[in-house]
Amino acid sequence: MKALIIGVSGQDGAYLARHLAGLGMGVWGTSRRPAAEARDSLDRLGVAPELVRLDPADPAAVRALLADLRPDQIYLLSAQSSVSVSFERPAETIASIVAPTVAVLEAMRTDLPAARLFHAGSSECFGTVDAPCGPNSPFFPPSPYAVAKAAATWTVTNYRQAYGLFAVTGILFNHESPLHAPRYVSRKIVITAARIAGGSGERLSLGNLDVARDWGWAPEIVVGMQRMLGMERPEDLVIATGHTATLRAYLDEAFSSFGLDWRDHVDASAGLVRPTDVTCSMADVRRTTEVLDWRAETAMPGIVRRLIEHEATGNLF
């Protein structure tokens, strides 16, 4: 069994490569980055997939790679993934998400119709919600990133229905790991709390402290991705824990672990609030649990503890 991960050098790609290799699969990965830079996260996890440099928005290059490699499974993870950056560069963000999706689907349709595709969707497509969202919940995308992800998700659905491809979207909620860059709020909070506990005297500025998210653990989330391509029939699913926590609760968990009260060290800054931020996301994982006989287990408190352990020991889990 041969797997191709388009976007292998990011958090999800690296953990997925390790998981697939552990199952005995042959793993190939693509990245836009030079080889040495692309291998950083992979080397840290001790995995060495065959690496190919690829612009996934180039249809000819994508088609040539798929025709040459002929993978059984394709994981499309490559994209500009920052919601805040999408407001600064909307056209670039939309192109980076939609164009590779179409390029891969077209290559499958014309040359590799038996392959199976996992497309990484996003809970941002749902917008702010007041009830848990499942795979059939309506989309109300509030950012250029979410608009692009919604378009890509519907494109995958269309190719599945119109051309009979095994192409599915896993609607991913927030998921964290030590491989996330320190600019991500999950790691920023833990890193700053550790420095403050060490006597730095600094203050942490954040945006809206009332946001609520379903935070998952990336090494578990990639298992859900792989299981989706083992389904008997293709369908889209939500991949999340089913547990939502507020940013205030995250702060409390992180700072209290160092014997601190976050209220003494954190400032809410209006300048860090996104123009149309998702204030609450909630996941309905019942269909996922039913179809995959699996669910992500590590929720917010466990995630904070593991990120703290990483800062102390370097453990990448």
Q: Give the active site residues.
A: 122, 124, 145
Report CA-CA distances (Å) from 308 to 140, 178, 187, 205, 280.
35, 9, 9, 19, 25
Residue-wise DSSP of 54-117:
--TT-HHHHHHHHHHH--SEEEE--S---HHHHHHSHHHHHHHHHHHHHHHHHHHHHH-TT-EE
Contacts of 312 (CB under 8 A, 6+ apart): none
User: Whole-angstrom Cα distance, residue 257 to residue 97?
Assistant: 38
Residue with tokens 């996260």: 41
Report CA-CA distances (Å) from 175 to 55, 123, 185, 235, 304.
25, 11, 11, 21, 12
> In sequence order, which ranges of the chain are alpha helices (DSSP H)?
11-22, 35-38, 40-45, 59-69, 83-88, 90-111, 144-163, 185-197, 218-228, 247-256, 286-292, 300-313
Residue pair 31/8 in contact (Cβ under 8 Å)? The answer is yes
CA 199 to chain CA centroid, nearest Å: 34
For Cα atoms 121, 55, 57, give the angle at the middle one, nearest 5 degrees.
55
